Structure 1
Amino acid sequence: MLFPTLEFFVFFVFVFLIYWYVIPYFFGKNERALTVTHYFLLIVSYYFYMSWDWRFGGLILLSTVIDFVLAERIHASRNKNTQFILITVSLILNLVFILGFFKYYNFFANSINLFLINFGIKSALPILQIILPVGISFYTFQSLSYTIDVYRGQILPEKSFLRFALFVSFFPQLVAGPIVTAKTFLPQMDTVKNLTDIPFRKAIRFFIMGYIKKVVLSDNISPIVDLVFKNPENFGTAALCLAATLFLAQIYCDFSGYTDMAYSAALLLGYELPENFRMPFSARSITEHWRRWHITLSTWLRDYVYISLGGNRAGVFRHRFNLWFTMFVAGVWHGANWTFVLWGTCQGTLLLIEAVYGSLKEKYFSNFKLLPDKILIPIQIMITNVLVVVVGTCFRAESLTKEWIMLSRMFVYTEGGLRPYMLKTGIPVLICIALGQWLGYLIFEKKKQWDPPVWLEFTLYPIIAVGLALLTPDLDLPFIYFQF
């Protein structure tokens, strides 16, 4: 069930009416009504998730039960060794038996079998027909963060299984984030919601913005990206560079578009999700890029991987390794393919280089400036985006072989493959994204707001709807991050 479809619209209207009108009519606004709304949201969340495959419901329920029970046992125990054993069990069950099996078994089996065949040994591990559950990486990390927070003593265990199950399965952000932690979401479930408190204009704006990003921008350039990355050997330097740039635009519009629509849906139900993107193309370094791109994943990795490894408190060499390894984990988290391993390794290496350079600059030439900021900042932004585009080819390439073909033809000039429709479609999309980043800069950095009259805004909505309908492609394309 995709957000920008009639099916989801009917589903959400049903949820909205029952949630805001039917339940309050029969149960009022009290603790009992709050419990009923939690049960209702849990049921529709499971229905939403199981609409892809009914078997997925059992897996998310298993993950929920494991972490709910283990967190309670961790808190009840006063023995540090016992707590450590229990949190280790949680990590193994979530990362190895659930996420590891469903997402990575065939990848490791293929890799091991290929290694054995190269030495003349018959393949040993069977390849299984495993259906990858939608969003398994997101809700596994989300549920696991709760157990770790309880282990660290940062939060108390949730007494209500109902509330915890809803936290794990809340449908707006269930299948592609943003990754929500228990300490930010569970407190929002404590109070009875009021329809009069819902910022409808804000929610509608976010949904329209998300729809434009996903359907109008991302889906229209998707065929170009798919065509070029499928057979990079058929295209020259210009076409490959354009496709690499368009892929970055595609995945940004696709993923941030989902986030915007998820934020809107949650807001209409009285819940606020965390920010996941903030003008990533205005970043002046790779480090800053990761503070603006997929913010909830970056925060999760910082809090539960980087800090757990010792962060910057474990000596210079260990700090550098922790930084690199955290991004390596990010690469593995994204997908079961050597291209993702390479992508994470490259990202970690770039962060490592920036960290070393930053330390040297601060120590030896902290006051040195080669160029004034008005010239230096645009150069830094351009270099950062070029690096992100180049490394991003690893993320999209189907194999290491095709990645090598892509890079070699990008950096050794070759001709061919660039077609007029690629430019006619791709360039306007890139211009729209640049304008969006500029507007975001004015709104978030310069704090310039334009709040049109209510009558004008709602008068424009039908016009916007007609325009979006004309620009919407015929096919419904799934969100890219559903595969993660």
Structure 2
Amino acid sequence: MLFNSIDFAIFLPIIFILYWFVTNKNLKSQNLLIVISSYIFYGWWDWRFLSLILFSTIVDYLIGISLSKQENQTKRKMLLWTSILVNLGFLGFFKYYNFFLDNFINAFSFFGTEINANSLNIILPVGISFYTFQTLSYTIDVYKRKLEPTKDFIAFSAFVSFFPQLVAGPIERATNLLPQFYSKRHFDYSKAVDGMRQILWGLFKKIVIADNCAQYANIIFNNSSEYSGSTLVLGAIFFTFQIYCDFSGYSDIAIGTSRLFGFNLQQNFAFPYFSRDIAEFWRRWHISLSTWFRDYLYIPLGGSRGGTWNKIRNVFIIFIVSGFWHGANWTFIVWGALNALYFLPIFITNNNRNNLNVVAQGKYLPNLKELLSMLLTFGLTVFAWIFFRAENISHAFSYISEIFSSSLFRIPIYEKDDFVKPIFLLVIIFVIIEWLGREQQYAIAQLGLKWKWPLRYLMCKLPLKQNCLKVE
């Protein structure tokens, strides 16, 4: 079930009414309702994959309890590795089996040996990367004794399958979200209104910006050999805003929806395109994933301890794994490695924590140095996104080679130019709103609170006009 669908528009108010008016007197009933509604939400796409969530939930619930009773360190490690292998085994099979098989066959073919092996027609379960990492964080934290294991199976099931963030994040830690299922929730009108505002802002980003940018980015990338370098730059910029508004839009809807039910999720995107260097970008982009890799991969590998080569190794590992997490294609791995190359110079020179505050904090405009730093970081990010979007490595290099040709200096030509201009105008308005709200949890958290109701109504109405500029 998609957030921007009629199904969800019907589903959400029904669950909201049942949650606050039918099950509100009993915490167990509320948690059970969340579990049932989450399974309906996920099963709406394909009910067969509900067994994966249920199995993962049972395994990690039982392992958590077993870890609390076990003092033998060897047995504790065996329990931890059981959880890791089960969860990553499912993820690896469904997401990466064909990738590894195809590359294995190609490697042997390169040396003149033919291997006959058929790829499997595997459907990738929606959200498997998200809930797998969420359950893993629970087991690892219990193993490290940072968290007491729960004996409440319903609360744990609700934590694993919580529908607002089940398929697109944020990837919540058990230390933050799980305890919220133990406490009685009370309806807070101001929190619900704030949640609705964030949902509307997420819908605006997803439907108005991302979906409209996507149609032009797709045409340009899918027919890149027919366009000039300047038009290809246009396509890369369209994709840059598409992917940000897609990812962060879903996160906003998830966080806002959670607030309607009395839950607080962590901020997942903190205006990353206003970053002044790549380190700041990665502190602001997909925060729940970046911090997950930092805490559960980078630090266990040694983090910033040890010699320079160990640090470089760890940086490359975390960025490459992050790229591979996004998809089973060499383009994602190159995208991750490229970001590692961006990051290394400022990391080695200990400048990776220079920009911890909000850019131009308390000011309307940045100074010249901040502006140039943001433009450089944005340009590097746009370049890296080309690999992320390309069909394969060859396509990415051909796309880039055409950009750095003489055609870069031509005026961009696009068949439906009259429709591109309104999209650009919308993107510019969007960037201005994001800039003005960059010190808030989301851009319109404070915008329009003192406006008269007709203006507030118009602001809320715009996201509901789905694909309003879409060209048939």
TM-score (norm 2): 0.91
Distance (whole Å) between structure 1 residues aligned to residue 411 and residue 455 of structure 2: 44
| 1:248-327 to 2 correspondences below 5 Å | 248-327=240-319
| 1:141-180 to 2 correspondences below 5 Å | 141-180=133-172
Match of 2:425 in 1: 428
Letter in 1 for 2:42: Y
Distance (whole Å) between structure 2 residues aligned to residue 91 and residue 221 of structure 1: 38
Residue 246 of structure 1 contacts residue 430 of structure 1 at CA under 8 Å; is this kept in 2? no
| 1:199-278 to 2 correspondences below 5 Å | 199-278=191-270
Query: Counterpart of 2:50 in 1: which secondary structure?
Result: helix
Relative to structure 1, the CA distance from residue 442 to residue 122 in structure 2 (aligned partners, 3 Å threshold; closer, same or farther) is closer
Query: Counterpart of 2:263 in 1: which secondary structure?
Result: coil
Greater CA deviation, 162-171 or 315-324? 315-324
**Once the 2 structures are TM-superposed, how far is the Cα of residue 197 of structure 1 from its aligned partner?**
5.5
Relative to structure 1, the CA distance from residue 45 to residue 376 in structure 2 (aligned partners, 3 Å threshold; closer, same or farther) is same
Distance (whole Å) between structure 1 residues aligned to residue 323 and residue 94 of structure 2: 17
Distance (whole Å) between structure 1 residues aligned to residue 14 and residue 161 of structure 2: 18
Match of 1:370 in 2: none
Letter in 2 for 1:149: D
| 1:16-415 to 2 correspondences below 5 Å | 16-24=16-24, 29=25, 33-95=26-88, 97-196=89-188, 199-358=191-350, 374-414=367-407
Distance (whole Å) between structure 2 residues aligned to residue 460 and residue 433 of structure 1: 17
Distance (whole Å) between structure 1 residues aligned to residue 80 and residue 441 of structure 2: 39
Greater CA deviation, 318-327 or 351-360? 351-360
Distance (whole Å) between structure 2 residues aligned to residue 198 and residue 375 of structure 1: 39
Distance (whole Å) between structure 1 residues aligned to residue 153 and residue 163 of structure 2: 17
Match of 2:413 in 1: 418
Query: Counterpart of 1:23 in 2: which secondary structure?
Result: coil
Query: Counterpart of 2:197 in 1: which secondary structure?
Result: helix
Distance (whole Å) between structure 1 residues aligned to residue 278 and residue 171 of structure 2: 21
Relative to structure 1, the CA distance from residue 314 to residue 83 in structure 2 (aligned partners, 3 Å threshold; closer, same or farther) is farther
Distance (whole Å) between structure 2 residues aligned to residue 90 and residue 259 of structure 1: 27
Residue 109 of structure 1 contacts residue 127 of structure 1 at CA under 8 Å; is this kept in 2? yes
Distance (whole Å) between structure 2 residues aligned to residue 23 and residue 359 of structure 1: 52
Match of 2:467 in 1: 472
Match of 2:449 in 1: 452
Match of 1:369 in 2: none
Q: Percent identity?
A: 37
Relative to structure 1, the CA distance from residue 307 to residue 249 in structure 2 (aligned partners, 3 Å threshold; closer, same or farther) is same
**Once the 2 structures are TM-superposed, how far is the Cα of residue 444 of structure 1 from its aligned partner?**
6.7
Match of 1:463 in 2: 458
Residue 235 of structure 1 contacts residue 416 of structure 1 at CA under 8 Å; is this kept in 2? no
Letter in 1 for 2:56: S
Match of 2:3 in 1: 3
Relative to structure 1, the CA distance from residue 50 to residue 379 in structure 2 (aligned partners, 3 Å threshold; closer, same or farther) is same
- Structure with more of its chain in helix, by fraction: 1
Q: Mark the runs of 5 or more structure 2 residues left unpaired by the alignment.
A: 355-365
**Once the 2 structures are TM-superposed, how far is the Cα of residue 453 of structure 1 from its aligned partner?**
4.8
Give the CA RMSD over aligned residues: 2.5
Greater CA deviation, 307-316 or 400-409? 307-316
Residue 210 of structure 1 contacts residue 258 of structure 1 at CA under 8 Å; is this kept in 2? yes
**Once the 2 structures are TM-superposed, how far is the Cα of residue 324 of structure 1 from its aligned partner?**
2.0
Query: Counterpart of 2:22 in 1: which secondary structure?
Result: helix
TM-score (norm 1): 0.88
Deviations 1:200-230 (A, max 9, x none): 2211210111111010111111111111111
**Once the 2 structures are TM-superposed, how far is the Cα of residue 56 of structure 1 from its aligned partner?**
1.2
Distance (whole Å) between structure 2 residues aligned to residue 50 and residue 448 of structure 1: 33
Letter in 2 for 1:424: K
Q: Mark the runs of 5 or more structure 1 residues left unpaired by the alignment.
A: 363-372, 476-484
Distance (whole Å) between structure 2 residues aligned to residue 171 and residue 361 of structure 1: 35
The size of the alignment, in residue pairs, is 455
Relative to structure 1, the CA distance from residue 412 to residue 214 in structure 2 (aligned partners, 3 Å threshold; closer, same or farther) is same
Distance (whole Å) between structure 2 residues aligned to residue 442 and residue 323 of structure 1: 29
Residue 282 of structure 1 contacts residue 437 of structure 1 at CA under 8 Å; is this kept in 2? no
**Once the 2 structures are TM-superposed, how far is the Cα of residue 134 of structure 1 from its aligned partner?**
0.3
Relative to structure 1, the CA distance from residue 418 to residue 451 in structure 2 (aligned partners, 3 Å threshold; closer, same or farther) is closer
**Once the 2 structures are TM-superposed, how far is the Cα of residue 387 of structure 1 from its aligned partner?**
0.3
**Once the 2 structures are TM-superposed, how far is the Cα of residue 163 of structure 1 from its aligned partner?**
1.0
Distance (whole Å) between structure 2 residues aligned to residue 21 and residue 423 of structure 1: 47
Query: Counterpart of 1:179 in 2: which secondary structure?
Result: coil
Distance (whole Å) between structure 2 residues aligned to residue 142 and residue 386 of structure 1: 33
Distance (whole Å) between structure 1 residues aligned to residue 33 and residue 186 of structure 2: 16
Distance (whole Å) between structure 2 residues aligned to residue 13 and residue 259 of structure 1: 19
Distance (whole Å) between structure 1 residues aligned to residue 419 and residue 287 of structure 2: 31
Distance (whole Å) between structure 2 residues aligned to residue 403 and residue 15 of structure 1: 45
**Once the 2 structures are TM-superposed, how far is the Cα of residue 442 of structure 1 from its aligned partner?**
5.4
Match of 2:363 in 1: none
**Once the 2 structures are TM-superposed, how far is the Cα of residue 375 of structure 1 from its aligned partner?**
2.3
